[in-house]
Amino acid sequence: MANAIWNIDTTHSGIHFSVRHMVIAKVRGSFRTYSGTVALDEQDITASSVSVRIETASIDTGVEQRDTHLRSADFFDVEKFPAITFQSTKVEKSSGNGLQVTGNLTIRDVTREVVLEAEQLGIGKDPWGNVKAAFEAKTSVDRRDFGLQWNQALETGGVLVGEKVEITLELQAVKAQQGAEKAA
C-alpha cells in the first residue's frame, strides 16, 4: 500500500521546548509558525516518514526581549538561518504504540541525527469529514552541537542558559484529499 500524505494541522499542533535557566529553573517556549507532512503507511508504520519546517523567527517564550535575543546572531540568527528542518530517515516500532523516529535535524545549517521517542495516538474523523491522525514525540539535544554557543557565567557558579534542550512535538495531521495526494 502506498503511503498516504497527511499535512500537519498547525491549529491543532504544537512544537514546544524547555531549557534550564540559571541552573535552578526552566524557560519554556514554542515555535508559532511551522509546516510539514507525514507520509503514513497505515499497514506498515515503519515505511512511513515525516518532514517538518519550523520558521525560527516564530520563536515565542512569552518575553519579547528574550525572544529578540533568541532571534539574534547569538542564537538562531534568523536573518541568515530562517528555518529549522527535520527529515526522518527511519521509523521503528518500540513497545505498544511507541515509535522511534530517526532523522536529520538542521539548525543554523548544522545537521545532526536525532531520535524522537514517538507515539501514534490514533486516527479518527472530525465532524466535518476530515480524517486526522495524532502523534506525540520527544527528544533532547545539546544546543552547542548546532552552533548555539552563547552563554553567560553566573557569579554563583554555572551558566545562564542550559545546554540540554528538551523538545516536545504534539502533532495532529489531516489526510490530504485523494487528488492532492497524487500531486505531492
- Residue 95 grid coordinates: 513497545
Residue that the C-alpha cell 495532529 belongs to: 172
- 37 close to 178: Cβ distance less than 8 angstroms: no
For residue 15 the three cell numbers come to 512544537
Is 183 in a helix, a strand, or coil?
helix
Distance CA 159, CA 148 (A): 14
Q: What is the pLDDT of residue 181?
A: 41
pLDDT of residue 183: 38
Identify the helix (H) or strand (E) that includes residue 180. helix 178-183
Contacts of 71 (CB under 8 A, 6+ apart): 56, 57, 59, 77, 78
Res 63: pLDDT: 85
- Going by C-beta distance under 8 Å and a sequence separation of 6 or more, which residues neighbour residue 129? none
Q: How far apart are CA 60 and CA 38, in angstroms?
A: 25
Nearest Cα to Cα of residue 99 among 145, 30, 48, 52: 48
pLDDT in tens, 38-92: 888 888 888 889 999 999 999 999 989 989 988 988 888 999 999 999 999 999 9
SS3 139: strand
Distance CA(109)–CA(93), nearest Å, equals 30
Q: What is the pLDDT of residues 86-113, one digit of tens each?
A: 999 999 998 887 899 999 999 889 999 9
Q: Is 178 helix (H, G, I), strand (E, B) or coil?
A: helix
What is the separation of C-alpha 106 from the centre of its chain, rounded to a whole number of angstroms?
A: 11
